[in-house]
Amino acid sequence: MSTSTVTQPRPSLTMTTVQGVKWSTAATILTAIMQVGYTAIMARLLSPAAFGVVALANVVLRFGGYFAQMGMEQAIIQKQELTRHDVRAAFTASVLLGIVFGGLLILLAPLSIYIFHEPDVVPVAQVLALSLLLTGMSATALSLLRRGMQFRTLAIVEVSSYVAAYGGVGVMMALNGYGVWSLVAASVAQGLLVGLLAYLVTRHSVLPLLSWRHYEPLWNYGSRISLISFLEFIGSALDTLIIGRVLGTALLGVYNRAWMLVSLPMYMLTTSVSKVIFPAFSQVQADQARMRKVYLSSVTLVASLILPTAAGMMMAAPELVYSLLGPKWGDSIPLLRVMGFTSGLMLITMFGGIVSDARARLREKTIIILQYLLVLPGLFWLLHGWGLMGYAVALNVGAVLYAALFARLLHQDLAIPYAQLLRLYVPGLVNAAVIGLVFGGLRLVLASLHLAPVLALAAFALTGALVLAALVFVVPLPGLRRELCSFLDRLSHQQPTSTSGRLLARYRRYLNPATAAPAAPYSAVANPVLP
């Protein structure tokens, strides 16, 4: 990609981004629905301890995974000018690093006994280490697809591999009594299928390249990204490590499933956008004003969905747990209520991290993560007397600190006033308060009906979807209304005479009747919404 890509006409990149978000969202929603179904089935077939063992083994796997990639995936996406030699270098490095660190994990996995005091983790971690080699073989192909914003192809790869691996291999093995190994086999099978499918649609060169001059630019950026990712991993894994060691795998399994339930729907809302935003941000990385506008728009829109979703899940926690996990998982209900805030805030803060990656502000991001890592263990120690609930509360406090540190970085790097950064959360907080009140009233009604948990959950979900859609699209608050209008302006310039274009223009006039006249010509400075 040449440097001129950064200054290409905005409408073209805007439409590409919108299409990318559409396909990425579709894949994420389908995968999330399947994951909920998969979890509901496996939670009834397996014990909490099985999930705890895999959670600990995944900590070991992720420990080696960050070194096995050295940020090559992000480096390919972020690099403004990419050559065939760069692709060969990235593939060669990814495969070799996957072999080296996969082998090291297999050899060193027995040492995890001294950390977790759980012998069952060792063989599981050794088998999962094969995933590092599979990841190394598929990383370059997946990165090229993301760089080219071919999210329709990525959606097909992700969904089909999940269906075959988890719905086929995982469930069938669990039904046949393989226990924890059904979880392991599903994970390895998905890695294999993703690699094969991604390469079939990209067909990049796999010839080895050992010239350092082609590795150096990728290494300079990628190694720093890898270090940051490793530090983020430590921060995200501290609770798993401590709970597994202090409280055992059974309580860790309860904690792990509660975190999965609360994070999955919100992850579904953000990951589809974040996958597209990083390559799009990277194309406008040198334009501070444009980046600032895009960040403000993205966070306003995402927070207006994430925060009320978190509030709804906190209110409907019993129905979620009993419907999806079953009656033996009741201990996770209070945890889910506390974790909703943590998950929502951390996912919103993720966009600040994406800005830092795209603008190569890696030193500043590293400092933020180190500050977070210094504080979080102290919070765990102070609140560990409350058991699992104490760890959940500690994560809440840490999430606030993490968001505040990134707000300071964005204030300095993109010149965004602190007051404006705080206003980004207002539409989402108001929507969350409304959802909370509606769900509180609905709970009183449902209590008199004595519905089964799954029917009560369906009532909460349908009511929440309708109320949230009205809050976002029918009666949005002024800040959200402005961002919606700007977003629609971008789309209306793509197909002004098409049926969809006319419908968007009509909805745009509904949101802001004062602009009933045709929109003014596009201005890249005055009205950027998407890169």
What are the tens digits of pLDDT across the range 407-431?
A: 999 998 888 899 999 998 999 999 9
Residue 62 lies in a domain: yes
Q: Which of 221, 238, 255 is the last residue of a domain?
A: 238
Residues 6+ apart with CB under 8 A from 47: 250, 253
Burial call 262-274: b when 16+ CB within 10 Å, e when fewer: bbbbbbbbbbbbb
Specify the pTM: 0.65
Residues 452 and 435: their CA atoms lie apart, in Å, by: 22
Residue 372 lies in a domain: no
The rounded percent of the chain whose pLDDT value lies above 70 is 78
Residue 291 lies in a domain: no
Q: Which of 238, 266, 296 is the last residue of a domain?
A: 238
**Tell me, what's the pLDDT at 459?**
94
Residues 234 and 63: their CA atoms lie apart, in Å, by: 8
Residue 224 lies in a domain: yes
Residue 284 lies in a domain: no
**Helices and strands of the chain, counted as H and E runs:** 22, 0
Residues 192 and 525: their CA atoms lie apart, in Å, by: 45
Residue 446 lies in a domain: no
**Per the structure, how many domains does the chain have?**
2
Task: Taking residues 99-111, report their average pLDDT.
Answer: 84
Distances in Å between the Cα of 34 and the Cα atoms of 28, 320, 438 are 10, 16, 28
What are the tens digits of pLDDT across the range 115-174?
A: 777 788 888 888 888 888 888 788 888 888 877 777 788 888 888 888 899 888 989 999
Residues 272 and 21: their CA atoms lie apart, in Å, by: 6
Residues 359 and 352: their CA atoms lie apart, in Å, by: 11
Q: What is the CA radius of gyration of the chain?
A: 23
Range of the domain at 482: 478-515
Query: Residue 176: exposed, middle, or buried by beta-carbon count in 10 A (0-12, 13-18, 19+)?
Result: exposed
Is residue 198 within 8 A of residue 145, CB to CB? The reply is yes
Task: Taking residues 31-52, report their average pLDDT.
Answer: 81
CA dihedral 384, 388, 390, 395 (to 10 degrees): 110
What are the tens digits of pLDDT across the range 225-272?
A: 777 777 777 777 777 778 877 777 777 777 777 777 777 666 665 666
Residue 158 lies in a domain: yes
Residue 484 lies in a domain: yes
Residues 277 and 298: their CA atoms lie apart, in Å, by: 9
Q: Which of 208, 238, 268 is the last residue of a domain?
A: 238
